[in-house]
Amino acid sequence: MFPNGKITPSTLSIKDLSWQVHWDKERCTLCGRCTAVCPVHAIELGVHRKRLIQMPALGEIGQSNGSSSVNQVYYGVRQKTDPAYACVGCASCTLVCPNDCIIPYKTDEADKLRFHINRGGQPRRRGGRRNVRDPDPGGILDRIKFIRISMLTDPALDAGRHEFELRTLLGRILPPEENLKMLKEHGWIPPVREIYPLIIGAMSFGALSPNMWEGLQMGVAYLNEQLGMPVRMCTGEGGCPPRLLRSRFLKYVILQIASGYFGWDEIIHALPEMKEDPCAIEIKYGQGAKPGDGGLLMWYKVNKLIAAIRGVPSGVNLPSPPTHQTKYSIEESVAKMIQSMYMAWGFRVPVYPKISGTSTAQSVLNNLARNPYAGGLAIDGEDGGTGAAYAVSMDHMGHPIASNLRDCYLTLVKVGKQNELPLFAGGGVGKYGNLASNAAALIMLGASGVQVGKYMMQAAAGCVGSESDRCNICNIGLCPKGITSQDARLYRRLDPEKVAERVVDVFLSFDTELKKIVAPLGRSTSLPIGMSDALAINDSSAAERLSIRYVV
């Protein structure tokens, strides 16, 4: 603009944006790939006018020389400053640039863009993860140390050569006396699955692209069938592709039912044709990323395929209600829903609820503990991710997982049901890349297993999202990596075979790392659930809160 031009309140300069695209004119080939690939059209072809001063040599100065000021035009890239087109920092431009001449940099001070992403009174919605500066460098899970090292009084184990039973149980486990009594009397014993303690958490078919979903499923199948690792994956709320429902691979799948019941028409109709029972049914009552809010699949992503699987028209927003509409009391309605789901599969499939981390988790738990059908409780902490949510929900709602899980576990210990009702923890596990140590910390705090979503997207598919508001456009289906897009032009970038390979890599390396943690603790015969004497932290308040040791 001109210095005397008009500005509006939302007139921003590049400096005010979260990301500044640096472009090097010297190296640019003007190939146009960057502007073509940018998912949010933050950059466009720029026709730049530039004034040059051309000074003739002394001897040539004369009347005929005319003006020494020359205007030239050159072509290049221009970054838009309209908040609707602000760069999201995904760096797809950098990825495609043949000469590495373009790269977005995070602004060096708080951006001003945040005050303007609510045009039309519509607050910011996005996908991804919690974007709040963590006052705790690394987060609480990363700061937990494993201090009980076996050496002399108790020889350490060999992570590479000893046998390890890194399995957990999903489903309601009866107290020993009752279990043996039921066995003797041929009574009903709740179904229990022996599974791997790292579960791929709920990411729906719809939130994820078909290629991503296929890759995850293939990886899971390979881990089970070739490597003997009983890894399970949850569908999320979006149903399940019909062929998978009718295949033997269904046993590796945890079907999720949530408040929108999307996809369940298809699932119910497939029941008579199922060759295998699913691993379990997860009833989603809440999600860590947007607690108290229902699922949301925005219209951009509801194409024909998604619409067909979910049983809805295409091209419309699919917001699930915040709660199951029929639920008014946990004692009655939740119990009934759990029982109904059991009934659908002849009481052969464990059913468990998933809630978001909340200060009321213990009340939920107490009710479930009294419900003999509840097959576990999954708690999703505030650091959980999502495909789409209001930014305010993602950043400010919810409860951290560590203390929530610990409180619930200790409540179970008090009533003696710590082995009966397995707890699963999710939300920020591996947030800073330390998947195995975070998972082990949660297990020793009392989790029977952990659920991961974002980590799988990053490690198995190359998601570029971050805690510092990078990319996070999963909601509009423009994922530059094709992970959360329903546009074939985008998701064909992602090779499902390669995703499957990475899933296997992640689980194998996780397995080795988990052994490297439990072996020096002297544990191998069973997963050290609740082995809190092995944990410590260098923060006395946190130590007291989690009932673990304080070390400095």
Task: Determine which residue in the list 21, 86, 91, 169 makes contact with other proteins, applying CB under 8 A.
Answer: 169
Regarding 148 and contact with other proteins (CB under 8 A), the answer is: yes
* Three-class SS of 444-506: HHCCCEEEECHHHHHHHHCCCCECCCECCCHHHCCCCCCCCCCCHHHHCCCCHHHHHHHHHHH
Give the binding-site size for other proteins (rule: CB under 8 A). 40
Residue 370 region by backbone torsions, left for phi larger than 0, else alpha for psi between -120 and 50, else beta: alpha
Asked whether 308 and 243 are in contact (CB, 8 A), the reply is no
Task: Determine which residue in the list 441, 522, 536, 546 makes contact with other proteins, applying CB under 8 A.
Answer: 522
Task: Determine which residue in the list 162, 275, 348, 492 makes contact with other proteins, applying CB under 8 A.
Answer: 162
Regarding 449 and contact with other proteins (CB under 8 A), the answer is: no
Q: At what angle do helices 454-461 and 210-225 cross, to 10 degrees?
A: 90
Regarding 419 and contact with other proteins (CB under 8 A), the answer is: yes
**Interaction pattern, residues 379-418, with other proteins; x per rule: CB under 8 A:** ----------------------------------xxxxxx
Q: Which is nearer to other proteins, 103 or 189 (CB)?
A: 189
Task: Determine which residue in the list 154, 331, 505, 544 makes contact with other proteins, applying CB under 8 A.
Answer: 154
Phi, psi dihedrals of residue 395, rounded to the nearest 5°: -85, -25
Q: Which is nearer to other proteins, 436 or 443 (CB)?
A: 443
Regarding 174 and contact with other proteins (CB under 8 A), the answer is: yes
Q: Which is nearer to other proteins, 95 or 156 (CB)?
A: 156
Token reading at 405: 């899980």
Cβ atoms < 10 Å from Cβ of 50: 9
Q: At what angle do helices 435-445 and 401-415 cross, to 10 degrees?
A: 30
Q: Which is nearer to other proteins, 61 or 415 (CB)?
A: 415
Tell me which residues in 258-317 interact with other proteins (CB under 8 A).
Answer: none
Q: Give the interface segment with other proteins, choosing from 95-103, 310-318, 500-508, 529-537 (CB under 8 A).
A: 529-537
Token reading at 528: 């050290």
Task: Determine which residue in the list 77, 334, 474, 531 makes contact with other proteins, applying CB under 8 A.
Answer: 531
Q: Which is nearer to other proteins, 149 or 392 (CB)?
A: 149
Distance CA 453, CA 18 (A): 26
Distance CA 242, CA 215 (A): 17
Residue bearing tokens 């060999």: 158
CA distances to 75, 167, 252, 339, 400 from 199, rounded to whole Å, are 50, 11, 10, 24, 19
* Closest CB 376 distance from other proteins, rounded Å: 13
Q: Do strands 535-537 and 377-380 pair parallel, antiparallel, or not at all (unpaired)?
A: unpaired
**Interaction pattern, residues 191-220, with other proteins; x per rule: CB under 8 A:** -x-x--------------------------
Task: Determine which residue in the list 209, 217, 393, 524 makes contact with other proteins, applying CB under 8 A.
Answer: 524
Regarding 505 and contact with other proteins (CB under 8 A), the answer is: no
Tell me which residues in 176-195 interact with other proteins (CB under 8 A).
Answer: 176-177, 179-180, 183, 189, 192, 194
Burial tier of 273 (Cβ tally within 10 Å: 0-12, 13-18, 19+):
exposed
* Closest CB 277 distance from other proteins, rounded Å: 18
Q: Which is nearer to other proteins, 174 or 289 (CB)?
A: 174
CA distances to 23, 29, 42, 76, 352 from 26, rounded to whole Å, are 9, 8, 21, 10, 59
Residues contributing to the site for other proteins (CB under 8 A): 148, 150, 153-155, 157, 162-163, 165, 169, 173-177, 179-180, 183, 189, 192, 194, 413-419, 521-526, 528-533
